[in-house]
Structure 1
């Protein structure tokens, strides 16, 4: 059984984005692992494993426009089902 069920990926497009500040916010406010928040001040790619993907989406939407959103259920994938 996985500790964190959902693989959450998206892009954030905005102005003055700060990948270090985003990393810090995630580690302080969300439970999860495998965080990847990389990019520049206008575009950030997020990858994160969590049980509350809606919290990640809500926070990221507060930073700018979010798109290319993918939330996959890794437990289903582990069972050979569509995630």
Structure 2
């Protein structure tokens, strides 16, 4: 059984984005693992395993335009089903 069910990925396009600050905010305010927050001040890619992907999407949208959003159910994938 997985601790965190949803593999959540998105891009955030904005201004003055700070990957370290974004990483720290997610770590401190959301439950999950396998966090990656990489990019530059205009574009950040986020990858995060969580049970509450909507919180990550809401946070990302507060920083800029979000796009290329992918939310996959890893529990279904683990059981041989489409995620």
TM-score after normalising by structure 1? 0.99
Corresponding position of 1:26: 26
Corresponding position of 1:6: 6
Q: Any runs of at least 4 consecutive aligned residues in structure 1 with deviations exceeding 4 A, and if so which?
A: none
Which whole-Å CA distance do the structure 1 matches of 2:53 and 2:12 have between them? 15
Q: CA deviation at 1:68?
A: 0.2
Which whole-Å CA distance do the structure 1 matches of 2:10 and 2:26 have between them? 14
- The Cα RMSD (Å) is 0.3
Which consecutive unaligned segments of at least 5 residues does structure 2 have?
Answer: none
Which whole-Å CA distance do the structure 2 matches of 1:5 and 1:34 have between them? 12
Q: CA deviation at 1:47?
A: 0.2
Report SS of the residue matched to 1:31.
Answer: coil
Corresponding position of 2:74: 74
